[in-house]
Every structure is written in structure tokens, then in C-alpha cells.
Amino acid sequence: MSGSSMQVTDALNRRFFVDYPLDAASRIEQLDINEVVDAAQRQPAKILAPVWRRLLPATAAKLLRALPQETADDLLAEVPPSQAVRLLGHMPKPEIEERLSRLDPAVRANLDILLAYPDDTAGRMMQTDVSTYRDTALAGQTLAQLREDGMQTARSLFLVDDEQRLTGAVLLEDLALAPPNTTLGALQQPITAAVRPIDSIGEVSRVFEEEDVLDLPVIDLDGILMGAVMHDTLARTVQKDATANLQTMVGASKEERALSSPFFTVRKRMPWLQVNLITAFMAAAVVGVFENTIAQVTALAVLLPVVAGQSGNTGAQALAVTMRGLALREITIRQWTKVLRKEVIAGFLNGVGIAITCGIGVFVWSQSIGLVAVITSSMILAMVAAGFAGALIPVILTRLGQDPATSSSIILTTVTDIAGFFAFLGIATLMMQFL
């Protein structure tokens, strides 16, 4: 092609891109990639950007990677940041870092913010390289494309409009059974649930549970599809968080592993062990107040761990149930009075049942009605206090903006030990004449 003919062709393409970006995008999706690159690389990024905004993300990313480096970098900086993030989502991480390093610092800073969603959010869990389709695509062509791509897709095919806004979904089984000439629009089902990138894992779990969906689309404020959270990804994340919470509840770091070095383990555990030591001295101080009482009735020292152990278990149960309710959004901190009332009542009723059994055992062992009265009354009070503390501690931590899993059991143990010791030894002191 002569130089003048190429200039005319470029001018016509430029006018077509400017005046009809949607038609240009539809046409580009049907052409061979090399043919598109040859025409696009001679156009300014500002001319290509409106067309790239309307291309399906997978196609746009594939073409971007085929363009010359300078053109691709200019185009990546020219498209809206949310669109750039979706294009980068179809690339491996090393390539993403390489492309970002070549961008203007201000542009990169904006993209870094969008790429680095906070931990425990849908944005961090979502899969960004989810393929999207138009409702005019045919079932036969779509299946052929899926086979070519190795079926690397969600269990639902997501349909978008000309502005990349999510419009519906097609189940894979419906696609496989449909006649080849059926359009995806005829097979689509409405979107019953979607989340935002900043929604928490608890919110994502709630939507999965209530809506019974296979894959959960993630959309921005304009309804544009940004990715999807897969059910297996959510399951792994929840399991990982659950095991991490088991560690943080007792003062161990989330980063610690079974084969972590001893020095790393000591550095992470020592601060909370020191805190635990202080709280242990607080509980011991309560026992020290009643030293004379214990000296007069040595049986109290034998029964003291029984009260502390039962109240500790009661508090741990209330703590676990409350924390799960907060994590899964079954309750909010506004409902703390209902949760508190429920755990106090449960603690009282359980306390009565345990006190009766314990009282029978103590009477058989000591033949002392006074000792039975002390252990039964203190057991009820201690378990009520434990239920109260187990429900209130995670609510208070959440209200203060803290993770309720963070060493909550250490705080709870302190409260239940002090309450149990004080109730048991205090009642024993008051009833000393009957022991």
C-alpha cells in the first residue's frame, strides 16, 4: 500500500473510531487480531480510548498486549481507571507490574488504589479475568470459543451491554443444551444478586447463602462488571480466616505458621503473653483478698477451679456465637441488648442445671450443706457473668473499630476468672459460719 493510500485509510479509520466507537468495537471483535493491531497502532491513544471502552475486556486486553509498547502504555493511561484495572486483570502479575512501572506516577498511584482492595473484601477475592459476552452472540460460537479457551470461565456466562454494564447471566448447562443458532439473550437469566468491590467477606457470605448462586458478580457504582467471586474461592477464604481467628483469639499472630522460626514465634507471642501475665496477677489478687477464708476452709481451694472452669466454658460459648453472628452479619452491634439478654438467660438456666449436678457431687464428697450452698449459688452467678462478658466483649471491640477476634479470649478469661473467684470466695466468706 502506497504512503498516500495508507494516510487516507488511517484518516477514514480515525473518523470511524471517533464518530462510531460502538460500531468500531463490534467490528474489531470480529476481525483477526493482527489486522486490528496494524490499523490501531497508527492511531493516537485518545482516538482509540472510546473504542477500547466498549470492547469486551478479554478482547481489549488481548489487543492491548499485541500493540507496540508505547501505544499500549498511552492507551492504558487514557482509558478510565476502572477500565484499565479490568484490562490488567486479564494479565499475569509480572506483566501488570511491568506495565504499571512505565506509567506516569500519578496514573499509577490511581491504579494502585483500585488494584489494592482492602483485605477481607469482595474486591480482593474476585476473579477479574472473567469472560463477558453480548446477548447477540450465538450459542454454537460461544461454545467453540469456550473450548478454545480451555473452558476457563465461571459456571455462569455474564452478559453485558454496550457500556459493559451487567445485564444477565447464562448457565453453562443451558448453553450446552441450546441449539447452535440460539442467541445468548434468549438463554439469559436475570441477575438476582451482586456485590460491590468493598463489600466484606461477611456480606459476600450472606449473599451466597441467601441467594443460592454459583458465582457472584462484582460490579461498580455504575453497574459495570468488574469480576466475580467464585464459590470455592469464598470457601477457601472463609476457612483461612476461621483458622486465623483461632490464632488471634489466643494472642497468636495471623502470620505465624506451624513451621515458623522460634524467634518469629517469640516476637509475635511475647507481647500478649505479657498481657496475659498481668491479667493472671489480677485474678490472683482476687484470690489473695480471700486468703484467710481459704486458710480456714481448705475445701474451697479444691472447688475453686471447678467454678472457674465452668464459667470459662460458658463465656467461650457465648463469645464464639456472638463473633460468628457479627462476622456473618446475622446481627449488628445495634442488637447488642438482644444478644446480651439471650446469653444472660442462657447462662442462668445452664448455671442452674450445672449447679444442681455440682451440688449433688459436692454433698456426696463433703457432707456439707453450707459448701453445697456456696458452690451452687456461685456457679449460677459466675455463669451468668460469663455469658454477659462473652456477648459484650466482641460487641465492644467492634464498636471501637477493632477486630473482635483479636485476643478476645484473653480478655474473656480475665473477666470470667475474676467474676468466678470473687463470687465463690465472696459467698463463702459471707457464709463462713455454715461451713
Under a CB-based contact definition with an 8 Å cutoff, are residues 369 and 363 in contact? yes
Which residues does 240 contact at the CB level (< 8 Å), separation at least 6? Answer: none
User: How, if at all, do strands 215-219 and 225-230 pair?
Assistant: antiparallel
Which residues does 2 contact at the CB level (< 8 Å), separation at least 6? Answer: none
Provide the residue-wise pLDDT of the chain in tens; the chain has 435 residues: 555 677 777 788 888 888 888 888 888 888 888 888 888 888 888 888 888 888 888 888 888 888 888 888 888 888 877 778 778 878 888 888 888 888 888 788 777 766 777 767 887 778 777 778 888 888 888 888 887 766 555 677 889 888 888 999 888 888 888 898 999 889 998 888 888 888 877 777 778 777 777 788 888 888 888 888 877 666 666 555 555 555 555 555 555 555 567 776 677 677 767 877 787 788 788 888 888 888 888 888 888 888 888 988 898 889 888 887 776 666 777 788 888 999 999 999 999 999 999 999 999 998 889 999 999 999 999 999 999 999 998 888 878 777 666 667 778 888 888 888 888 899 989 888 877
CA distance 389 to 417: 11
Nearest alpha carbon to residue 423 among 285, 301, 308: 308
| pLDDT for the residue 214 | 74
What is the Cα 165 distance to its own chain's centre? 25
- Judged by phi (left if over 0) then psi (alpha if -120 to 50, else beta), residue 150 lies in left
DSSP string spanning 277-311?
HHHHHHHHHHHHHTHHHHHH-THHHHHHHHHHHHH
Give per-residue pLDDT as tens, 298-349.
Answer: 888 888 888 888 988 898 889 888 887 776 666 777 788 888 999 999 999 9
| pLDDT for the residue 237 | 60
> Per residue in 384-412, is it b (16+ CB within 10 Å) or e — as a string?
bbbbbbbbbbbbebbeeeeebbbbbbbbb
CA distance 226 to 117: 12
Q: Which amino acid is at 124?
A: R
Cell numbers at residue 357, please? 449436678
| pLDDT for the residue 61 | 86
Which residues does 101 contact at the CB level (< 8 Å), separation at least 6? Answer: 108
| pLDDT for the residue 345 | 94
CA distance 280 to 143: 65
| pLDDT for the residue 377 | 94
